[in-house]
Amino acid sequence: MVCGVNSWIEEILDMNRTLRSLDIDYSLFNTDKYYDRLSRLNKRLYKFKLLNNEEEYITHKQNEFTRTVDEIKPDIILLINPPDTILSPYFLKTFAGQINVYMWLVDGIRKMQNANDYLPLCDKIFCFEPDDVQYIQDLTGKRNVFYCPVGYGTVYANKVAITKKVYDICFVGTPTMTRLPFLVAVAQYASDNNLALWLSGKFYDSHHFWKKYIFKRKYPILYKYIYNGDMSPEEVARVYRKSKICLNIHNANHSGLNPRTFDIMATGSFQLLDNRSDYRELIHPGIDCDVYQDVETLISKLRYYLANEKQREKMATSGQRNVTHGLCITDMLKRILFAKTVK
C-alpha cells in the first residue's frame, strides 16, 4: 500500500506506528504543499514573489510518487484527504483503474477545496463526517462510501500510572470562535472558584510579540490559564490523565465525533462534551461520558462532577473499556483496508 498523507495528519494519526502494527508492506508518501515545506524566511520571500520553485517541487514529488508505485507495486493507494496540487486528479488518473484508490476524509468534505474532483477516481471512500456518506453517494452515484470515524491514537491507550489529579478541568484544541465563549465561561468559573484549569492551543501567533498583548487585553480571564502552542500526543495524553474533567468542544461545522472524543476516553479520563445529534452507538452519554447543551449546562455539570468523584471515575472507566475494544486508529485502518465491496 502507498499512503498519501501530509505532515500534520501524519502526526495526528501516528501513521507509521499504526501501519507497522498491521504487519503489511507500505510506503508513506508526504503530500505537503510547497508553501508548507518552506522555512519562515522563505515563506516571506514567497509572499513577496521573490521565491517560487513550486512547479519544480510538484514535478519532483510526482516523479517520486511514480517511482514509489513502480518499485512496490501496491494493491491500494490510500489518500488521507485530497492531496490537492501534489497529486492532482489529472495526475492520479494514470493510476486509477490499475490500482485500487481509496480516500479517507478525516475532515468534512464541504470544507475541502477541490475534494469533489477526486471522488470519480476513488474505488472506495471513507468519511469522518456521517452526513458526508449520503452527500457523496447522491453526488457521484457511488455505493462504496462508508462512515469511518478517526479513532484514538495508540499513545493514548498506554498504561501509565497517575497517582494524583493536578488539574480540575482541561481543554486541548484550536480556540475557534465557536469555542471561545465556552472557554471564557469556564475560565471565569475556574477563577471564581480557585480551580486548576489547563487550556492549550494556538490562541495567538507567538511569532509576533504584539499578538500576545492584544489577546491578553481582549481575553484577560483566558490569558491566566493558557498554554499557547502545540503539544505532542504524549504530552496531551499526560494532561488528560492528570485532569478530573476533560472538556471536548466540537467545531461548529462538524456533526460527527472528533478524534478527541476517543483520545480522552482511551486515557481513562472523564469527558464532558457538547451534545451530538448522532453518536452511532460508538459512545453512550450518561454511561461513558456526559454532555452539555450550552454554557449554562456546561458550568452546571462542571460543578456537579467536580463534587462527585466516584460517579466521574465510574464513567471514565466505562468509557475506557468501551473505546479500547475496536475504536483505535489501527481498527479504523483495518476497516478501510478490508472493507467489502458493495456491488
Whole-number pLDDT of residue 5: 84
**Given this structure, which CATH class describes domain 154-323?**
alpha beta
Whole-number pLDDT of residue 323: 95
Query: 200 near 172, Cβ under 8 Å?
Result: yes
pLDDT, tens digit, 9 for 90 and up, residues 92-149:
999 998 999 999 999 899 888 889 999 999 999 999 999 999 999 999 999 999 999 9
Domain boundaries, the chain: 2-151+328-337, 154-323
Instruction: Write down the pTM of the prediction.
Output: 0.92
Whole-number pLDDT of residue 222: 97
**Given this structure, which CATH class describes domain 2-151+328-337?**
alpha beta
C-alpha cell at 1: 500500500
Whole-number pLDDT of residue 151: 92
Q: Which of 238, 158, 151 is nearest to 198 (CA)?
A: 238
Whole-number pLDDT of residue 310: 97
DSSP, res 265 = H
Q: For residue 244, give every residue at least 6 positions away whose Cβ sits within 8 Å of its Cβ, in sequence order, or none.
A: 165, 167, 168, 169, 270, 305, 306, 309, 312
The dihedral region occupied by 40, where left means phi > 0, alpha psi between -120 and 50, and beta the remainder, is alpha
Whole-number pLDDT of residue 114: 86
For the chain, report the end-to-end CA distance as a whole number of angstroms. 23
Q: With a cut of 70, list the residues of the chain below it in pLDDT.
A: none
Whole-number pLDDT of residue 270: 98
Q: Which of 290, 340, 299, 294 is nearest to 319 (CA)?
A: 290
Interior CA angle at 179 toward 242 and 264, to 5°? 30
Burial of 187 (0-12, 13-18, 19+ CB in 10 A): buried
